[in-house]
Amino acid sequence: MSGPAPPREPIFNLPRVVLAVIAVLVAVHLWRLVLPFESDLGILAEMAVVPARFALEFGWLDQARIVQEALSGLDARQSAERMAVARYFLDGGGPRWWSLLSYGLLHSGTSHIVMNSLWLAIFGSPLARRLGPGGFLLLIVIGTVGGAFAHIAIHAADVVPLVGASAGVSAATGAAARFVFSSGTRLGAMGQDAVVRALPALTLPGMLGNRQTMIFVIVWFVSNWLFGAGVVPLGDAEQSIAWEAHIGGFLAGLLLFPLLDRHGRQALEPT
């Protein structure tokens, strides 16, 4: 006589809020793929972050300086293309303040959204189990906005739109780094809420003394710089990586995680 059948494991053992976020990102991307070029360009104009718009609004630069910076180092053909981009995105009003969040719904290509979805599944899942849906979404929102401001501050004259969920995903990664390596537990073993919530949270000095955490953080920063600087190509050679936005999001998640982590108040790793 055979014993009871083992319980079935779900195909995707991810928190519902993580699956929902990934589903929204994929749905938006698929919707854009079927739109005419002009319509999709209009979506970029309204939903993507264009740093030069904010520089004009804040009075950091005037339009002549922005055009000068945009055309610097370009040949005649590239200058004509960049001028067309500048006219399109700078004519028609000031910054779209909602774009500080909505840009996170847009992606530049399939490899971009696949990478962000996979990274969110890996590091967003333990964070969602730890903080719950509300705390998880709030931290993603803060990281997305923080990443946008970091990119704007460094690329104030840029007329090229910023898109992607990478800053929010990086915030989830930075927050998860505060606890996922604290006890040597493997990421693959964090499929239960109770296990994740029982992990001690590392203080910042505690992170410096945790070998796994420091190796991960160093590798994360170095790889982002290598991809962002173009030293290592990623997918389409024409696609640039906004590593400043990634770092802005990562630092937001890393620093603000303790404010949202009620479980860590009972299980704080000593320094």
Q: What is the mean pLDDT of residues 19-45?
A: 94
Residue ranges in the chain assigned as alpha helix (H): 16-33, 37-47, 51-58, 63-71, 76-90, 99-102, 110-119, 125-154, 166-176, 193-198, 204-208, 211-228, 243-260
Q: Which of 36-50, 60-74, 186-200 has the highest mean pLDDT?
A: 36-50
What is the Cα–Cα distance from 92 to 105, expressed in whole angstroms? 22
Q: Which of 175, 180, 179 is nearest to 254 (CA)?
A: 175
pTM, 2 dp:
0.85
- Distance set, CA 147 to CA 15, 64, 139 (Å): 24, 26, 12
pLDDT tops 60 at residue 1:
no
Confidence of residue 223 (pLDDT cuts 50, 70, 90): confident
pLDDT tops 60 at residue 270:
no
Q: What is the pLDDT of residue 93?
A: 72
pLDDT tops 90 at residue 225:
no
What is the Cα–Cα distance from 65 to 202, expressed in whole angstroms? 45
Q: What is the pLDDT of residue 193?
A: 78
Residue environment code for 212-240, b if the CB has 16+ CB neighbours within 10 A, otherwise e: ebeebbeebeeebbebbeeeeebeeeeee
Contact 18, 56 (CB under 8 A): no
pLDDT tens readout for residues 76-113: 777 787 787 778 788 767 889 999 999 999 998 888 99
Q: What is the pLDDT of residue 188?
A: 60
Confidence of residue 252 (pLDDT cuts 50, 70, 90): very high
Token pair 């006589």 is found at 1
Looking at domain 19-52+97-260, which CATH architecture does it have?
Up-down Bundle (1.20)
| % of the chain residues with pLDDT over 70 | 84
Q: What is the pLDDT of residue 189?
A: 63
What mean pLDDT, rounded, does the chain reach?
84
Q: Name the amino acid, one letter, at 80.
A: A
Q: What is the mean pLDDT of residues 165-190?
A: 84
Which pair of structure tokens corresponds to residue 126? Answer: 């333990």
Cα torsion angle, 46, 229, 115, 148, sign: negative
What is the Cα–Cα distance from 246 to 252, expressed in whole angstroms? 10
Confidence of residue 230 (pLDDT cuts 50, 70, 90): very low
Contact 202, 210 (CB under 8 A): yes
Domain residue extents for the chain: 19-52+97-260
pLDDT tops 80 at residue 229:
no
Q: What is the mean pLDDT of residues 138-165?
A: 94
